[in-house]
Chains A and B, each alone.
Chain A
Amino acid sequence: MEKKLVIPGDFLSDDVKLADEGTYIEDSKVFSSVFGIASLKNQIKVVPLSGKYIPRQGDLIIGIITEVSFSNWIVDIRSPYEGLLHISEFPRRIDNSEMSKYLKVGDSIMTLVKDVDSIMKVELTLNDQRLRQIKDGRVIEVTPSKVPRLIGRSGSMIAMLKNETNCNIFIGQNGRVWLTGKEKNLDLAARTIQKIEKESHIPGLTDRIVKFLKEEKGIPVKGPAKRKVEKEAVKKIEPEPVQEMTSEETATEETPREEAEEPGKVEENKSGGILDELLDK
């Protein structure tokens, strides 16, 4: 079996060269360090079933302002470590006295992890026009380790979800998910994301989600004409959340049939590029 449920200390392999995340090596053997799903295919890694978000440079995340200090906004990023957004990382020059006018306690932001040092001081930035305060829609939370499954292989899951729910969806690496769209569609998207989170470890996820969405919408057969109209309506929604891509995904489920004609795809490729642009600076 290439995937299995393991607990800390479970023996995984004799080949220490293949050891990856969620494992440790002792006496030239590879063991699991977490309770999670082990995949033994190429690299040996274990994806934990729960756990906190640990920030890394370049992560696009969603934070909530918890404190405004003299020159920093202190930001909850669902991590053991708070994020610091320095006044100079705000897109425009503002005075210390005005900080709360722009971002106050309780405000949500889509932000980028600019730097993480060895003692886990986390610096954030808003210094890119695609990063911004989140003023509308809904933010829901999922276990950070399940973010790759929510995105799906090459973004397939999230593309399908956007298409089927007519919502714009941005997934932060810290497991906060920003949804915008019509209220009714937001409810469906939120429910579906919760289902994906709960069942992410069970094989055949994509098929089940496709089935779930169809049942929820009460559509036994799809009506393409109707969908097109709705889609156009959604495109007008501003701001348009960007979608991050991940290269870590190793999901084995089949890609959904709809994927080829996916309109969200273009947007994703574009936004995947945002990350590279930001990192190149």
Chain B
Amino acid sequence: MSNEIMSELRKDYIYNLMIKGEREDGRKFDEYREITIDTNVIEKAEGSARVKLGDTHLVVGVKIQTGTPFPDTPDQGVIITNLELIPLASPVFESGPPREDAIELARVVDRGIRESESIDLSKLCITPGEKVWMVFIDVHVLDDGGNIMDAASLGAIAALMTAKLPAQRFGVGEDTPVPMRDVPVAVTAVEIGGTIMLDPSLNEQSIAGTKLTVISNQDGGLSGMQKSGVLPLTTEQINYIVDISIEKAKELREKFLEI
């Protein structure tokens, strides 16, 4: 199946609204859609979260089990992030192995968590060189309403924050929370005709020439970025997006990810 074709009329409509300073759903340019996050929705998983970001709906499950460390990091646990754009979630997603979009999304979510050092990997070591905790973060997209990136990132961190190391089940002591020390938050902006807007809806996303995701930490530092799309951005635009993203991440963190 091909990408969805959007009528020129609809594009014009959104474009004209933008010129007037408006968005299709009445939001301000820097405003997110309504967000709800429910945690512990999958009892079988060690941690889980369901995120609704506007019409985008996904479930993140964290499975944790013991395994062998990588030879070059014998005293560190392992994080593996996977995301699938299953055909249930959109008429344009297909069955089969993940394609570049899904892999890009998974890798950016992974990067945010890994590079922010939000999980203390050394505390995931059970026996150096032999046994460590393997943390699998699986993002299951159920409904694509645009900006899966930010929803997945919020879900992954919310699921991790409620996850437990199942030590009892694996006979290595008492269950403990996953050792978290930072809360990275991804904020995605799109550029349409020179205007920057946050949290693109599906329509905005498909018109936009390019997207920029900025992942920032509690101290306002950056731990991951990804530009996605063929159109270039100016330095001014990028600087603006970075500034606004850090502010917005702070707001989202305080509102939805308070421990």
Contacts and interface: CB of A to CB of B under 8 A. Distances in A.
Asked whether the complex places CB atoms of A and B closer than 8 A, the reply is yes
A138 B13 CA distance: 8
B7 interface: yes
B5 A76 contact: yes
B5 A139 contact: no
B181 interface: no
Contacts of B8: 106-108
B6 to A, nearest CB: 7
- Max chain A C-beta neighbours (<10 A), residue from B2, B6, B8, B13: B8
B184 to A, nearest CB: 38
A105 B13 contact: no
A134 interface: yes
B131 interface: no
Interface in A135-162: 135-139
A127 interface: no
B5 A138 contact: no
A47 interface: no
A66 interface: yes
A64 B5 contact: yes
B7 A108 contact: yes
A106 B13 CA distance: 13
A64 B9 CA distance: 10
A233 to B, nearest CB: 20
Contacts of A139: 7, 9-10
Contacts, number: 26
A65 B9 CA distance: 12
Contacts of B2: 66
Interface in A87-115: 105-108
B11 interface: yes
- Chain A contact residues: helix, strand, loop or mixed: strand
Contacts of B13: 138
Contacts of A138: 9, 13
Nearest to A134: B9
Contacts of A108: 7-9
Interface residues of B, number: 9
B10 A66 contact: no
Contacts of B6: 106
Indicate the size class of the contact surface on chain A. 10 to 19
A105 B5 contact: yes
Nearest to B16: A183
B21 to A, nearest CB: 14
Contacts of B7: 64, 106-108, 139
Nearest to A138: B13
Contacts of A64: 5, 7
A65 B10 CA distance: 13
Contacts of B10: 139
Contacts of B9: 108, 134-139
Contacts of A106: 5-8, 11
- Max chain B C-beta neighbours (<10 A), residue from A106, A136, A138: A106
A108 B10 CA distance: 10
Contacts of A65: 5
A56 to B, nearest CB: 23
Nearest to A136: B9
Interface in B9-31: 9-11, 13
Interface string A57-86: 000000011100000000010000000000
Nearest to B10: A139
Contacts of A105: 5
Nearest to B8: A106
A84 to B, nearest CB: 16
Given A108-B8, A135-B9, 16 more contacts: A64-B5, A64-B7, A66-B2, A66-B5, A76-B5, A106-B7, A106-B8, A106-B11, A107-B8, A108-B7, A108-B9, A134-B9, A138-B9, A138-B13, A139-B7, A139-B9
22 contacts: A64-B5, A64-B7, A66-B2, A66-B5, A105-B5, A106-B5, A106-B6, A106-B7, A106-B11, A107-B7, A107-B8, A108-B7, A108-B8, A108-B9, A134-B9, A135-B9, A136-B9, A138-B9, A138-B13, A139-B7, A139-B9, A139-B10
Query: What 4 A-B pairs come out closest when comparing CB atoms?
Result: A106-B8, A64-B7, A66-B5, A108-B7
